[in-house]
Amino acid sequence: MDLELNRTVTAVVTYLGEQLGEFGPFPVETLRWQDVAPVARAAEERLGVPVVVLRLVSVEGGEDYQGGHVTYQVEALQRPRAGLDPSDRPLGDPARRAGWATSEGARASLAWAEEALVAAGRPLTGPAEQIKTWNLSGVHRLPTGAGPAWLKSTPVFGACEAETIALIAEVDRELVPTVLAADTPGRRVLLDHVPGQDCWGFPEDTMLAVVGRWVAAQAALAERVAALGTGTTLPLRTPERLTDQARALLDRELGLTADELAAARELVGGFPAMAEELAACGLPITLVHGDFHPGNCRSDGTGNVLVDFSDACLGHPAFDGLRLRPMLSPERWEQVRALWCEAWRKAAPGSDPQRALELARPIMRIGYAVRYQEFLDGIEASERIYHQDDPAAEIRGALRG
């Protein structure tokens, strides 16, 4: 990636459905498109009123969700005092737009969070600070006298985080954040602050302890998951279920060559036999985090807490074991793999976790292709830029493996 990459922004300002105008371009200090905190600060300084950055409208340039010139729709929460440049810029088709990316939805989420904090005995002590918005979540930090709380909104095609956290808390309360309030139908959750920082910023050793701890939690949850049956909203992503989903995915236009498509069909045709072998390895179907990597583990140097369960599902635990591989050096991966395998041998005596990792790899990659296509099918057109090529990339990765 170009180290000189930077991000500039144009803000198209709306107020209760009225397009007031725009300003920009102006530079912001961070690169990632979904990081809208500096955009919101600049807009509030310019407009003199509180705002919410609703959504990405378009991008020119940039790469890997970073840099370039990004145009956002910014909703003023009060009518602005400052003048703006005239704008009739199209704001896109609202079909499949996330609730938090609309004027009504953003206001309703903030109002819900404020009321929930009062009910929890932790009223706001200042204005909400917007952190992120994109097709997979909207996030605000909310100041209270007992420390910050976090408002997170997720899409209907994401797992219910409150339900997932409650399940894990049954077996390891300290492994998950505290839920202060939840609106399950609205896919909103209010979480207590987790001290520390995401493990991207720590030495890799920081996350090692959570590997065995998560395995122990998954093993303990296996019986609960089996007992849930249809009494859960968590999606089913077992190897058998993914076989059917993968066949349906390969019937769609994904940008694969004819040779790639033929090879992918052949690979998926072998999934039933792979699934039988995988089951024979002795690891149970259980709760799967779905995106088990260092960035979704927070640590203060003494403990670890897992966060971001919007990709959680019921599936094979090897999918989580493999998720770490591309994010670690080959040497560290060997260490983590050994830790993961030893933890499962202890949790499931007689199992063969190392063989499970080998068998699960192509199924996991195709499973991610299916999941990315769900993103694309569930989000508005302007947000597809984040994931447009991901299904094909995962299929090619499965073929290489």
pLDDT one-digit tens code per residue, 306-355:
999 999 999 999 999 999 898 888 888 999 999 999 999 999 999 999 99
Q: Examine the domain organization and report whether 233 and 379 are in the same domain.
A: yes
Note the pLDDT tens digit of each residue in 139-181. 999 999 999 999 999 999 989 999 999 999 999 999 999 999 9
165 and 21 within one domain: no
Asked whether the beta carbons of 225 and 236 are under 8 A apart, the reply is no
Which residue is listed with tokens 């770490």? 324
Enclosing domain of residue 67 = 7-91
- For residue 223, the tally of other CB atoms under 10 A from its CB is 11
Domain count within the chain: 3
* pLDDT score at 81: 81
Rounded Cα distance, 66 and 81, in Å? 31
For residue 27, the surrounding DSSP H or E stretch is strand 18-28
- Beta bridge partners of residue 149, listed in sequence order: 142, 192
Q: What is the amino acid identity at position 377?
A: D
- Same domain? For 330 and 351 the reply is yes
CA dist 114 and 125 (Å) reads 10
Task: Specify whether 61 is located in the same domain as 145.
Answer: no
Where is the domain boundary, 91, 124, 150?
Answer: 91
pLDDT, tens digit (0-9, with 9 covering 90-100), for 187-243: 999 999 999 888 876 666 777 889 999 999 999 999 888 787 656 788 899 999 999
Q: How many CA atoms lie within 13 A of 59 on its CB side?
A: 22
Residue 218 shares a structural domain with residue 345: yes
Tokens of 26: 């102006």
Together in a domain, 232 and 300 = yes
Residues 282 and 376 in one domain: yes
Tokens 């910050």, residue located: 148
Q: Is residue 205 part of a domain?
A: yes
Pairing of strands 304-306, 297-299: antiparallel
Whether 15 has a pLDDT exceeding 60, the answer reads: yes
One domain for residues 146 and 235:
no
